[in-house]
Amino acid sequence: MSIIDFLISMNGVAQLWASDGQFLGTLSSNLYDPNSISNPHGMYGSSQGIYSIRNSYGLYGGLYGVHSPYNNYCINPPIILYQGQPVLMVTKNSYVMSNGLPVVDPDLLLGLYAQLSHSIPTPNPYLGLAQSIYDMFK
């Protein structure tokens, strides 16, 4: 199984964790899941989220962030956990000591879930609420 196939199969169930123990989100293409790395308004998926690897100025996403997969010199980049076990390391550092874990580029990871978010219909939990409110005022 390729890394891409593996990541697709982990959609919604695997988690991203920083080496300092900080949860960095669920690997999910769901744009509405508050824990999803694909939620553009969430803590883990937005470019301003303090725990988002998309935050290019943050500790977990910046070029110089100590725990950032985008820091080419980061020696302890984030890992992907599945069922509590480390399965992948996420980093741009081509010299990182991965201890046998396969390494995935963060741009590949984010790009794949972005692509999945546009190809898999995701139910919007707010549509039912909006319809209910609309019905109240008809």
pTM of the model: 0.85
Enumerate helices (H) and strands (E) in the chain, giving the number of each: 3, 5
pLDDT on residue 135: 52
Spell out the domain ranges in the chain: 3-136
**Cα(44)–Cα(23) distance, rounded to whole angstroms?**
9
Mean pLDDT on 37-50: 96
- Cα dihedral: 40, 21, 76, 89 (round 10): -60
Residue with tokens 């999803």: 36
Tens of pLDDT, residues 53-71: 999 999 999 999 999 999 9
Query: Does residue 121 have a pLDDT over 70?
Result: no
